[in-house]
Amino acid sequence: MTMGRKNNKSNINNNYNSQDSMAFAGTRTRFDDKDEELITQSSNPEDSGKAIAIQDESMGEPDVSFVEGDDEKTSADYYFDSYSHFGIHEEMLKDVVRTKTYQNVIYQNRFLFKDKIVLDVGAGTGILSLFCAKAGAAHVYAVECAHVANMAKEIVESNGYSNVITVLKGKIEEIELPVPKVDIIISEWMGYFLLFENMLKSVLYARDKWLVRDGIILPDKASLHLTAIEDAEYREDKIEFWNNVYGFKMDCIKKQAIMEPLVDTVDQNQIVTTCQLLKTMDISKMVSGDVSFTVPFKLVAERDDFIHALVAYFDVSFTKCHKFMGFSTGPRSRATHWKQTVLYLEDVLTICEGEAVTGNLTVAPNKKNPRDVDIMLKYSLTGRRCVVSRTQHYKMR
């Protein structure tokens, strides 16, 4: 997985050590986002009239590990250590869309939390637990495996909530709660491309083991979306650069560069096609195997242009609230630390208004390192000026 664009030259090492890159890498953002009002609503494609929703077909847990390689350093190796560094938590806490939405969900729905037992999975600094305690929860169990759990205990104590919040250090799959069941599970489990880091599996484990019947999971819905963009300038800088490096061919690196998804902020003016709802996950009902799936897509061009990449993003919903709440990480919404995930195509597609790129997207955890994500993209275009059909493989790591 590649991070960032051109203008901001700051490197990851300004804030984190090299191990942090597995969870949150520094970015070089090309576009300046306008400061816009925070609206805690989903960017439902149906609301904008831009989307074509096609029924997905789940694969359960297919034998899919598309990208081979003997990787010595993996996200699994560094996952928990990376969350021990304060810079990662600073970035997440300063993500106003993320943190303010959770705060609004809790404070504006105190009736859900009053006198309830809450489990916070992957508590980090304990901010969500503090919100829940302030909203009237009877008790909150904050589970965190990384060393930041020690700081979370101090934070809880210094804010006077030691009698309400219990911080438990350890993996959710290995710890034991002092209570048999909880009323609410809250977690900020989403990774890049929604599923990178595979923390959702831990939330589902906690749900099956501790959540009471008819208990509440927050958030309870997540959806993955796809669109296509024109990105000639950056594709030239990132991909075509390897054709001639100071007079030498480095095509082998070019092939690798295309296989690595780019996490970055995309300008909405780059969007060429409709946006497609790929997959909706109901966290209260799904099983762990549902994170592996194949879905069809159809992206219809809204203007004559070129397509250099497909872009994935996700929306999150809290449907148990008194009033619908949620947020989107899409390019038409206020920027978040998740940004969007860009999948560069080997071909440059020349597309005319009304023509469609069709295909299938297959997603599965990497078999060797399940916190990584393997993606297989099959796409085709039969247009007046371009006819192409290809399969590409990507690996987020």
- Catalytic positions: 188, 197
Pairing of strands 182-187, 211-218: parallel
- CA of 104: how far to CAs of 35, 99, 109, 239, in Å? 19, 9, 8, 42
- CA of 52: how far to CAs of 108, 274, 290, 296, 304, in Å? 33, 7, 22, 11, 19
SS3 content of the chain, % helix, strand, coil (to 5): 25, 35, 40
Q: Which amino acid is at 232?
A: A
Question: What DSSP state is assigned to residue 358?
Answer: E
Question: What DSSP state is assigned to residue 23?
Answer: T
75 φ, ψ to 5°? -65, -30
CB contact burial 17-41 (16+ within 10 A = b; e otherwise): eeebbbbbbbbebbbeeeeeeeebb
3-class secondary structure, 17: coil
In angstroms and rounded to an integer, the radius of gyration of the C-alpha atoms of the chain is: 21
Residues 325/363/124/205 CA torsion (nearest 10 deg): 90
Query: For residues 297 and 60, is the Cβ–Cβ distance under 8 A?
Result: no
3-class secondary structure, 296: strand
User: Prior bond to 219 cis, omega within 30?
Assistant: yes
CA distance 178 to 304: 61
